[in-house]
Structure 1
Amino acid sequence: MNKFIIALTLVLSTNAVAEDRFASIRQTMNTCAACHGPQGQGGLGPKLQGQTADEIISKLLAYKNKEVVGPQSAMMWPTAGMLTEGEIGMIGVYITQGYPDE
């Protein structure tokens, strides 16, 4: 599983893809912004800026499996539960790349 995450992160973080690889993730990130802020600066939820892709991916996978990561974990379970592993990987890369426009 960990090798899958690392490989996915490396593939998604390259700039070789001509199309907008984050187009589908931006809609999902609107949901995240309600608590974490539009640029992940924090708000009701913790700050996402400054976390590595691996940290974000690891936490989202834990939430998806209904594991406790922090005091507000239960709030993340339904949202993370709807994400695929691929979407989780893309979210980790998207956040660490600074919410790119394309």
Structure 2
Amino acid sequence: MESDKNIPIDELALLWVSTMIHYTKVIPDRLGEDYALKSIIEQDLSQFRAIASQLEMLFCTRPADSWAKYLWRQNFVLYLVQIIRRSQIFFQHLSGHYLKIQLP
């Protein structure tokens, strides 16, 4: 398989948030009876879906003007930060769940 070293950052961002949406859909089925964590992960899922929608809207409005491009890039960076933070929170929820299981 050929390496995709030149994937645009916007495609990577959409891929990342799509992957996180997939995880938030799949993982609750594997949690068993922990309804509190399932509820929290459902909230994570809605947050990831909102970020994905915002990114898609942003990608539909690529400006031609240099000043507008600067502002567009700032918005894009803010959405990337949201993806990173939300992903971190999601994995903290999961790690807290697994620590709770392993502790006596």
Q: TM-score, normalised by structure 1?
A: 0.28
Q: Which has the higher helix share?
A: 2
The TM-score normalised by the length of structure 2 is 0.28
Larger radius of gyration: 2
